[in-house]
Structure 1
Amino acid sequence: MTTPHSESTGVSSAPVPPPGCPAHDLGQAAVRRVYGREAEGSPYELYERLRRESGQVAPVLLPGDVPAWLVLGHRENLEVMRTPSLFTADSRNWSAFREGRISADSPLLPVTAWQPLLVFVDGEEHARLRGAITDALGRFNRHGIRRHVVRSTNRLIDAFVARGEADLVTEFADRLPILVMARLCGIPEEHGIPLGDAVRDMVSGSETALRSNEYVMSVMRETVKHRRDTPDKDLVSWLLAHEADMNDEEVAEHLRHALTVSNVTTSNLIANTLRMVLTDPRFRGNLSGGQMTLPDALDQVLWDQPPLSVVPTRWALGDTVLGGQEIKAGEMVMLGIAAGNVDPEIRPDLRTPMYGNRSHLAFGSGPHECPGIAIGRAIADTGIDALLARLPEVSLAVSDAELTTTTTWMSARLDALPVTFPKDRPREAPALSPLDISTPPAAQPLPDAVPSAPHPDRAPRPAPASRGPWWRRLFRR
């Protein structure tokens, strides 16, 4: 996610924070901004600098110079994730927001503003929603999901195979997850690609983000309405029928959240793994020689390049001590996923391969651990494996040094992965048995009320005077 306030701040010693801020008593040199050109260009250098200065939990400033704590240690991250009695996911406990220190146009609000979603609740409400989500996801046929991933992979490859070249970020990694997730949710296939485009525009904070959000929610609501009347064997139908008694709006909102998170994170995972396979001699050679599996490569990427670097969704419920730092009630405690994965206490030598080791932080832990881990991994490893099977001679069209990454304080995204392959010798897509995710019939088309997806270049821009901050409308129920 872009941060509008980050153009020229850089990593620097921040002004001495006022009394009441987490870093007030730690001195000026110990407080650093985690946004800006230098921070976003070299986040791992920033993590190590913070670790040297403050230990495993560091005081930082977010956009708008909002104070917070960044958890750098692997063990400390797990402590926060696994102790909801001390660190809640309910952002209504954030003291900075309650005290009016968060501006109405803050880029923090789209990811922290409270919503009645699984990720923002704890206790009995969390148990109710979590039970419905995990039960519904658990009903999918794993082999059926993989067959659908292969089918979607071949559909995407067929669109560019005749050219002998492609960008595996925009033409593959960005599109595969949404095609698969749309099918699992019971959304007609023709909505898959437009939904993916709209989701990426929605989270970008662009001027068309609101229109894209309206399109995504219209598809979600019509899907829920259709499945309420005509149940099928898909995620929407199972959520509606679950004993948790989720209402239509709850199901629609959770669908939007699931599509957004899975599309962004799984796309990053696929792109980064493909880059490693194509450029790192350890992986290229081992994969060719059969000494290493693709799941091992995914594990290495989840350690070294997790899809999300920072997750700013925990708040202290009371005064406590974490990593030697005194945390006050209501202060934000950010999960440092990338920093925790390179913690010297658990990885003293970063050159040591992490094949098969799944104790990374990429999917979280504790009650808020990602419920879709199995599906996300299935999409990534099956899709990459199917692509390499179709294009065995694929190679990078530029040097690894020429590849660029857009890095923000929350994540890093590979901009492009241009490849070439012999266009006269692609392997034919293998024949597949009939698709069976959970033995469902073909998805029925949605009613005509679902609008067409907006195009960022054609969507009309709302008049600035008639709309409030974009995040407020984006998350309004």
Structure 2
Amino acid sequence: MNVQPSDSPHLDAPTPPVGCPARHTGATTRLYAAESTADPYGTYSRLRKQYGPVAPVLLEGDVPAWLVLGYRENRRVLDNPGQFSRDSRKWRDWEEGRIEETSPLIPMLGWRPDCLSQDGEPHQRLRGAVTESMETVANRGIRRHVVHFANKQIDAFADTGQADLVLQYAEYLPMLVLTRLFGLPESDGKYLATACAEMMAGGEGAISANERIARVLAELTAHKRAEPGPDFATGLIQHPAALDDDEVQNHLRLVLIAAHATTSNLLARVLQSILSNDSRLSDLVSGQMTITAIVEEAMWNSPPLAVLPGRFANADCELGGQHVRSGDLLILGLAAGNLDPEIRPHTGTAVRGNQAHLAFSSGPHACPGQAVGQAIIETAVEVLIHRLPGLALSGDPGGLTDTASTWETRLDHLPVTFPP
């Protein structure tokens, strides 16, 4: 395999010529349209053949963007905030009034007073508060929370002999764990998970879903100001970086949405991978294969966030054979980059032990909660296999279906049977 497990593999390698750069205004591929979401990987492949590693696309409302498809090009954008900022106030279409505040893109791309929306010193100050507060709660025993909620979820169907591991396990388990880490009541778990799913799906419900999440977190912030506890919200409030209420709420939102959406999606994919192959399940039970290796493979082949929003060009530049103008929006094709034939010519190439995938992004804004997400997934799988010996997929693995949006592709169902 050609990918090197280093911080910036081959960034200076030449890009194959792709002919004349396409005019960005001539984009015709709508990533949100039915034909794109029905087969997102097919769309990525078609765009790569037509344009090369960077392709002009349209987002909801026919908003133009560059979709970065190449692995090396993704790393160049992610690792160089001096060239490609995360601050959406630099987005030309926003500055010039072409993006409505009610656009379904705003929950994913709009500027907020959080570490994701800023670069440089403001980013470092806020990210330090997030990572240190998250480490504190994680060190208090995140696995015991996962075990508690995993057993509680399994108890609800253990005596039936059948279940849907997406709808009855993976879809809600990470959010239930997050409610405990955040200091939220367990009863908020399913409500917030549903709101997260609606926001990630885009469309008309994205704004209202985002507002529902914001209301819950504003109430949590006020409560924890008055009654601190051993939780993530209190950690942000009491951190020496002195976050104000708006900053606290927006970081709670950022971590809640990102952690739940990616972890629930990846957990479903890991379970699909294990149960679609009898030998893999037996190797896992016998100890010949580790859950960590299966998670790593899933992060290469089906990263939970297929497309990462977004970056904004600080100046005119060339990227992947395209002329990118200052203020242009770029969205990062993490799934497409992981399968880039320039660095991974065969999709079946072994990736075990290679952590150079794009699933957690890269650079200064790389996901700060990687360890928490991985702990949730690995513990959730361990508990499930221990509790339900004889677990087996119900039906043909080829019959499993997905639902995709611009940003992610999620498994619809994972039906299983087991001795009651």
Shift of 1:289: 4.1
2:234 alignment partner in structure 1: 237
1:201 is displaced (CA, Å) by 4.0
Kindly indicate whether the alpha-carbon contact (under 8 Å) linking 1:33 and 1:65 is maintained by their aligned counterparts in 2: yes
Q: Deviations over 1:398-421 (max 9, x none)?
A: 222222110122110111111111
- Match of 2:351? 354
Distance 2:321 2:85 in 1: 20
* Residue in 2 that maps onto 1:314: 311
Report the equivalent of 1:55: 52
SS where residue 272 of structure 2 aligns? helix
Contact preservation (8 Å) 2:202, 2:405: no
Amino acid at match of 1:200: A
Q: Secondary structure at the match of 2:156?
A: helix
1:261 aligns with 2:258: yes
Name the aligned partner's letter for residue 329 of structure 1.
Answer: S
Secondary structure of the 1:134 match is helix
**Contact 2:112/2:250, CA 8 A, preserved across alignment:** no
Q: Is 1:116 aligned to 2:138, yes or no?
A: no
1:52-90 alpha-carbon deviations (Å, 9 max, x no partner):
222222222333333221111111111111111110111
Deviations 1:367-407 (A, max 9, x none): 10011000011101111111111012111222222221101
Moved more, 47-56 or 104-113: 104-113
Q: Which amino acid aligns with 1:376?
A: G
- 1:180-203 CA-to-partner distances (Å, cap 9, x unmatched) read 111111223333333323433454
* 8 Å contact from structure 1 (residues 23, 67) kept in 2: no
TM-score (normalised: structure 2): 0.89
Q: Aligned partners of 1:350, 1:206: CA distance in 2, in Å?
A: 32
Instruction: Give the letter aligned to residue 187 of structure 1.
Output: L
Q: Residue 141 of structure 2 aligns to a residue in which SS?
A: helix
Report whether the alignment pairs 1:132 with 2:129.
yes
AA of the residue aligned to 1:225: A
1:158 paired residue number: 155
SS for the counterpart of 1:311 is: strand
Equivalent residues of 2:85, 2:312 under 8 A apart: yes
Cα gap change, 1:25 to 1:126, in 2 (>3 Å): closer
Between the aligned partners of 2:319 and 2:75, the Cα distance in structure 1 is 11
C-alpha distance in 2 between matches for 1:214 and 1:75: 36
- The residue number in structure 2 matching 1:24 is 23
Q: Closer, same or farther in 2 for the Cα pair 1:282/1:54, shift >3 Å?
A: farther
Change (3 A) 1:215 1:310: closer
Residues in 1 aligned to 2:114 and 2:390: alpha-carbon distance in whole angstroms: 44
Is residue 32 of structure 2 the alignment partner of residue 35 of structure 1? yes
What does 1:270-419 correspond to in 2, within 5 Å?
270-281=267-278, 283-419=280-416
Question: Normalising by structure 1, what TM-score?
Answer: 0.79
| Equivalent residue pairs, number | 400
Secondary structure of the structure 2 residue equivalent to 1:161: coil
Q: Greater shift after overlay, 375-384 or 194-203?
A: 194-203
Matched, 1:171 2:168: yes
What do residues 296-350 of structure 1 show as CA deviations (whole Å, max 9, x unaligned)? Answer: 1111111111111111210101011222322110111111100100011221221
Rounded to whole Å, the distance in 2 between the matches of 1:199 and 1:408 is 13
Distance 1:106 1:23, change over 3 A: farther
Task: Identify the residue that residue 442 of structure 1 maps to in structure 2.
Answer: none
Instruction: Kindly state the Cα deviation for residue 208 of structure 1 after the two structures are TM-superposed.
Output: 6.6
3-state secondary structure, aligned to 1:303? helix
Unaligned runs of 5+ in 1: 1-21, 424-477
2:53–2:320 Cα contact (<8 Å) kept: yes
**Partner in structure 1 of residue 99 of structure 2:** 102
Distance 1:76 1:202, change over 3 A: closer
Report what 2:85 is aligned to. Answer: 88
In 1, the alpha carbon distance for the partners of 2:41 and 2:138 equals 39
CA distance in 1, matches of 2:334, 2:170: 22
Counterpart secondary structure, 2:137: coil
Question: Structure 1 residue 145: deviation in Å?
Answer: 0.8
C-alpha displacement at 1:205, in angstroms? Answer: 5.2
**Aligned-residue identity in percent:** 47
Q: Per the alignment, do residues 77 and 194 of structure 1 end up closer, same or farther by CA in structure 2, a change over 3 Å counting?
A: same
Classify the secondary structure of the residue corresponding to 1:70: strand
Matches of 2:356 and 2:61, distance apart in 1: 34
Counterpart code for 2:94? F
CA distance in structure 1 between the partners assigned to 2:362 and 2:388 by the alignment = 36
| Offset at residue 95 of structure 1 (A) | 1.1
SS of match in other structure, 1:170: helix
Q: Determine which structure has more spread, i.e. the larger CA radius of gyration.
A: 1
Q: Which moved more, 1:35-44 or 1:72-81?
A: 35-44
Instruction: Check whether the contact 2:107–2:210 (CA below 8 A) recurs between aligned residues.
Output: no
How far residue 287 of structure 1 moved from its aligned partner, in angstroms, is: 2.0
SS where residue 312 of structure 1 aligns?
strand
What's 1:200 paired with?
197
Structure 1 residues 326 and 38: alpha-carbon distance in aligned structure 2, compared to 1, 3 A threshold: same
